[in-house]
Structure 1
Amino acid sequence: MLGLTSVSVFLFSALALAVTSGYSFGAVTLLLASTCLLWKRPRLNLQRRDYLLLGTLLLYFCVFTANMLYHADPARELDIPLRALLAAPVMLLLLAYPPRAAAWWGGLAVGAIGGAALASWQLLMLDMPRPQAATSNAIHYGNVSILLGMLCLCGLGWARTSSYRLVWISLLLAGGVAGILGSIISGSRGGWLALPVCGCVFSFYYSKGRSIYYLGALMTALVAVSISAYMLPDSPVPQRVKAALEDIKEFKDNDNATTSIGQRMEMWRTAWVLSDEHIWLGMGRSGYLAAKQTLAEGGKMDASVKDYTNAHNDYLDALVKRGIIGVLALLALFLVPLALFARALRHGPGNARPFALAGVVLCTCYMIFGLTTNSLTLNIGIIMLVFPMVILWAMLRQQERIA
């Protein structure tokens, strides 16, 4: 069983971006394997922290589902919160049969490199303006690519103490660079916001107990990466930044909601206005779309955004559809695991800290992604949050047991 969980965890990340729905192969295998718990009944020795994480996943599912039923939304809406529920038995399986650490870190690096290679081919050979690798759109590709890259860099602490140290350090560094490169060529500006935040997290973590010069070197490296991304020949970064500034100016001066940024700001404004009418329970997906149609017909909202099914912001989308209760459930999904991983990062044994750091980065990235898009409305979005979350937690707990 340990071999099966290790292979599944490797495939989960390794195929995430280079194969269509590649993340599903490992996730489905883990879910099917979790049925063995019904007859094997291994001792799990669950702690209060484990119950807290499981409870958070179940809370998100229950709040989302109850709201969907209350508003009589289409049954297909259940597809997203169901992923959070299905992550719970996978977490129990991995606590009983934790995968090998090398399978996790190796899968991340292969996934980031494979995704960047495919996106580069789409850019250079197919002349795609917004490469998306094997995903459904460039935004989600860019976000997941930079996420895999940042998670690779979390593994450097593990690599320093592993066998074949230089090989693992080189592989994880290559994965980190590939993840950032994939995000850059995708042109997904929202994901770029995660780079300086994660850079600060890495700087303070890796400089802990070292001199101020070490911290300065890490911060200098972060600035150098950012400048290089901006100055590279044919880099989409300056064009995308310039376009964003022009879109914001157009929306501010002329209320132009036909641009990319203008449409987002119009959707945010509309969601905020509509949320006042149903502040506690929201108005559901169907009610939200109907209200947008009414506003568009009355000239109170730009018609160019009336057919979008979400607010392009996780927090505002939860507020307008599920009210304050929905926002609290969403924040719990981000903040409870973040607090658990952060506590392990501060007080856990040294061998568990790379996994704790990765958990912190995972939750932080998703909180940032949700500012400019609905990161949890597609399968790749919700799966790449909850499954890495339980994988990392299970491996963290394993490292604590053997410390």
Structure 2
Amino acid sequence: MLGLTSVCVFLFSALALAVNSGYSLGALVLLLASSWLLWKRPRLHLQRRDYLLLGVMLAYFLTFTANMLYHGDPARELDMPLRVLLAVPVLLLLLAYPPRPAAWCGGVAIGAIGGAALAFWQFIMLDVERPQAATSNAIHYGNVSMLLGMLSLSGLVWAREQHHRAAWSTLLLAGGLAGIFGSVISGSRSGWLALPVCAGIIALHYAKKDGKRYIASTAIAIIALGAVTYSMPDSQIRKRIHAAVEETQNFEHGADLKWSSVGQRLEMWRTALLISRDNLAVGIGRTGYLEAKLILTTEGKMNKTVGEYTNAHNDYIDTLVKRGIIGVMALLALFLVPLSLFGRALRHSAPAAQPHALAGVVLCTCYMIFGLTTSSLTLNIGIIMLVFPMVILWAMLRQQERIA
């Protein structure tokens, strides 16, 4: 079973961007394998921290399911919170049969490299302005690419302790650079927001172990990377930044939003907050949100360009208008409780467990930033690439604590 969980964990990340729905393969096999627990009944030795992580995932599922039923939303709305529930038996499986760290680190690096290679081929050979690799759109490709890149860089401390130190370090560094590169050419700005924050977290951790030079080196590297990519001919970063500034100004002057992604987001946020004011406790559900938008469009109080969007392009605002403050609290708990658990482990756990704790902190931080400009958790790739890495990293962390 240890070999099976390791293979699944490797495939989960390695195929995430280069194969259509590739992340589902490893996740599905892990879920099916969790049924083995019913027969084998291994000792899990669960701690209070494990129950806390399990509890927050169950609370998220129950809160969103109860809200969906209360508002009479269509059954397909259950798909996304159900992914969180399905991660619960996978966590129990991985606590019993933790995967090898090499499978995780190799998977995230190869996944970032494979996704960047496919996106680069689309960009050069197919002349796609915003490549998306094998994902549903460029935004989610760019975000997951940046996530895999940051997770790769988080594993460099682990690589330094391996027998093949140079090979592992080279692979993970290549994965980190490929993830950043894929995010850059995707034109997904939310991933760019996560870069300095997560790189800073990684640098601070390395500085604690090896001196403050890592902080200065990281700052210089980020500034240099930004300057180079911004100054390149036909720079995607320059185009997207200039477009964001121009579209914001046009929105303020009431310009047409048809070709303005920033203007459309601002309009969606404005109207969602307007709709949510009278239903702060539990929101109005997906169906009620779409009906309220139709009324505003008919009354001329909302631009019709954004009338057909089913979410508010912001995880927090979208949850507020559909699920209310109770839903927002469940969402924040899904981010902040694991973040605090990983953060505490990063400060107090054994050195062997710290690379996994660092990756957990980076994972939660990335998603909290991604959710500012898009609804990451309303798509399959978004919710799966949060909760499954979360339980994988936690299981590996707990295993390293046990053997330390």
The verdict on a shared fold, with TM-score over 0.5 as the criterion, is yes
**Residue 218 (structure 1) shift:** 2.6
Match of 1:18 in 2: 18
Q: Structure 2: any 5+ residue segments left out of the alignment?
A: none
1:326-345 alignment, distance < 5 Å: 326-345=327-346
Counterparts of 1:250 and 1:256, CA distance in 2 = 8
Q: Are residues 1:2 and 2:7 paired?
A: no
**Residue 255 (structure 1) shift:** 5.3
Match of 1:321 in 2: 322
Show structure 1 runs of 4+ deviating over 4 A.
none
Match of 1:64 in 2: 64
Counterparts of 2:350 and 2:86, CA distance in 1 = 29
Counterparts of 1:199 and 1:92, CA distance in 2 = 31
Q: Are residues 1:388 and 2:389 paired?
A: yes
Counterparts of 1:79 and 1:174, CA distance in 2 = 35
- SS in structure 2 at match of 1:184: helix
Counterparts of 1:118 and 1:242, CA distance in 2 = 27
- Superposition RMSD on alpha carbons, in Å? 0.9
Match of 2:271 in 1: 270
**Residue 287 (structure 1) shift:** 0.2
| 8 Å CA contact retained: 1:267, 1:312 | yes
Match of 1:360 in 2: 361
| 8 Å CA contact retained: 1:12, 1:23 | yes
| 8 Å CA contact retained: 2:200, 2:215 | no
Q: Give TM-score, length-normalised by structure 2.
A: 0.98
Match of 1:108 in 2: 108
- SS in structure 2 at match of 1:339: helix
Match of 2:377 in 1: 376
| Matched letter for residue 83 of structure 1 | R
| 8 Å CA contact retained: 1:319, 1:327 | yes
**Residue 65 (structure 1) shift:** 0.3
Counterparts of 1:99 and 1:233, CA distance in 2 = 44
The structure-2 alpha-carbon separation of the partners of 1:107 and 1:214, relative to structure 1 and needing over 3 Å to count, comes to closer
Match of 2:198 in 1: 198
| 8 Å CA contact retained: 2:198, 2:362 | yes
Q: Structure 1: any 5+ residue segments left out of the alignment?
A: none
Counterparts of 1:162 and 1:81, CA distance in 2 = 38
Q: Are residues 1:254 and 2:246 paired?
A: no
Counterparts of 1:31 and 1:372, CA distance in 2 = 31
**Residue 103 (structure 1) shift:** 0.3
**Residue 133 (structure 1) shift:** 0.3
Counterparts of 1:287 and 1:348, CA distance in 2 = 46
| Matched letter for residue 60 of structure 2 | Y
| Matched letter for residue 385 of structure 2 | M
| Matched letter for residue 336 of structure 2 | L
**Residue 200 (structure 1) shift:** 1.3
| 8 Å CA contact retained: 2:159, 2:165 | yes
Match of 1:215 in 2: 215
Greater mean deviation of Cα atoms: 207-216 or 271-280: 207-216
Greater mean deviation of Cα atoms: 198-207 or 307-316: 198-207
Match of 1:164 in 2: 164
| Matched letter for residue 203 of structure 1 | A
| 8 Å CA contact retained: 1:109, 1:152 | yes
| 8 Å CA contact retained: 1:257, 1:265 | no
| Matched letter for residue 317 of structure 1 | D
- SS in structure 1 at match of 2:302: coil
| Matched letter for residue 40 of structure 1 | K
**Residue 223 (structure 1) shift:** 1.8
Counterparts of 1:213 and 1:160, CA distance in 2 = 18
The structure-2 alpha-carbon separation of the partners of 1:335 and 1:265, relative to structure 1 and needing over 3 Å to count, comes to same
Match of 2:243 in 1: 243
Counterparts of 1:151 and 1:234, CA distance in 2 = 29
The structure-2 alpha-carbon separation of the partners of 1:158 and 1:209, relative to structure 1 and needing over 3 Å to count, comes to closer
Counterparts of 1:36 and 1:70, CA distance in 2 = 35
Match of 2:42 in 1: 42
Counterparts of 1:212 and 1:376, CA distance in 2 = 36
Counterparts of 2:252 and 2:281, CA distance in 1 = 30
Q: Give TM-score, length-normalised by structure 1.
A: 0.99
Deviations 1:340-397 (Å, cap 9, x if unpaired)? 0000001111110000000000000000000000000110000000000000000000
| 8 Å CA contact retained: 1:154, 1:358 | yes
Match of 2:82 in 1: 82
Match of 2:138 in 1: 138
1:282-297 alignment, distance < 5 Å: 282-297=283-298
| Matched letter for residue 42 of structure 2 | P
Counterparts of 1:180 and 1:351, CA distance in 2 = 26
Match of 1:308 in 2: 309
Counterparts of 2:292 and 2:138, CA distance in 1 = 29
Counterparts of 2:383 and 2:126, CA distance in 1 = 29
- SS in structure 2 at match of 1:277: coil
Aligned pairs, how many?
403
**Residue 256 (structure 1) shift:** 4.3
Counterparts of 1:75 and 1:212, CA distance in 2 = 52
**Residue 229 (structure 1) shift:** 2.4
| Matched letter for residue 101 of structure 1 | P
